[in-house]
């Protein structure tokens, strides 16, 4: 089983790409192009994930979800957040029924 440490290592790599050469780093290129380009990639990968789920090829789906996760990690880093913020939010929700959680949002 692959360890979740990959998220930690990948996040460290993403952080190291601030100010790196966009001609030799895809992540540096995305940071250089800015928020709209990163959001465009997240949107594209979300659509490609839906299409892969529809075509029934499980390996294709895994690869598209990896692209989607990767680009959302780039977005988090670009925004000054990290995967740990998302993990903390999932941990906060752990054990809370999705229906109860949705109702509590309406009360806020
Ligand atoms: N995990 C990934 C990863 N997943 C997907 N991609 C890139 O995300 C892009 C996916 O976009 P598309 O499928 O739309 O392909 P594309 O048409 O080539 O993309 P565009 O030119 O349209 O942007 C491809 O260029 C992939 O190579 C990734 N690029 C990098 N990483 C990780 O990030 C690290 C740092 O990357 P660099 O900054 O490039 O060194 C790498 O060591 C990897 O660990």
Residue 77 belongs to a domain? yes
Reported as a single tens digit per residue, the pLDDT across 46-63 is 999 999 999 999 999 999
Where do the H-state alpha helices sit in 1-108?
A: 5-16, 26-33, 35-55, 58-78, 83-93, 98-107
**CB 69 less than 6 A from any atom of ligand 1:** no
Residue 101 belongs to a domain? no
Reported as a single tens digit per residue, the pLDDT across 12-49 is 999 999 999 999 999 999 999 999 999 999 999 999 99
* Residue nearest atom 20 of ligand 1, based on CA coordinates: 41
pLDDT exceeds 90 at position 4: no
Count of domains forming the chain = 1
Q: In this prediction, what percent of the chain has a pLDDT beyond 70?
A: 99
ipTM of the complex: 0.92
In this prediction the pTM is 0.92
Mutate which of 26, 37, 45 for ligand 1? The one with the most ligand atoms within 8 Å of its CB, which is 26
Residue 33 belongs to a domain? yes
Question: Any idea what the CATH number is for the domain that residue 52 is in?
Answer: 1.10.287.1080
Phi first, then psi: give them for residue 21, nearest 5 degrees.
Answer: -75, 115
Boundaries of domain holding 51: 8-82
What pLDDT, on a 0 to 100 scale, did the predictor assign at position 102? 80
**CB 16 less than 6 A from any atom of ligand 1:** no
């Amino acid at each position: 089983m692959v360890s979740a440490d990959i998220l930690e290592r990948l996040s460290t790599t993403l952080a190291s790409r601030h100010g790196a050469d966009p001609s030799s780093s895809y992540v540096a290129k995305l940071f250089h192009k800015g928020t709209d380009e990163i959001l465009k990639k997240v949107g594209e990968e979300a659509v490609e994930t839906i299409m892969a789920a529809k075509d029934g090829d499980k390996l294709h789906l895994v690869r598209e979800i990896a692209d989607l996760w990767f680009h959302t990690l780039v977005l988090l880093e670009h925004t000054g957040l990290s995967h740990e913020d998302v993990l903390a939010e999932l941990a906060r929700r752990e054990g809370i029924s999705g229906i109860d959680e949705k109702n509590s949002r309406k009360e806020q």
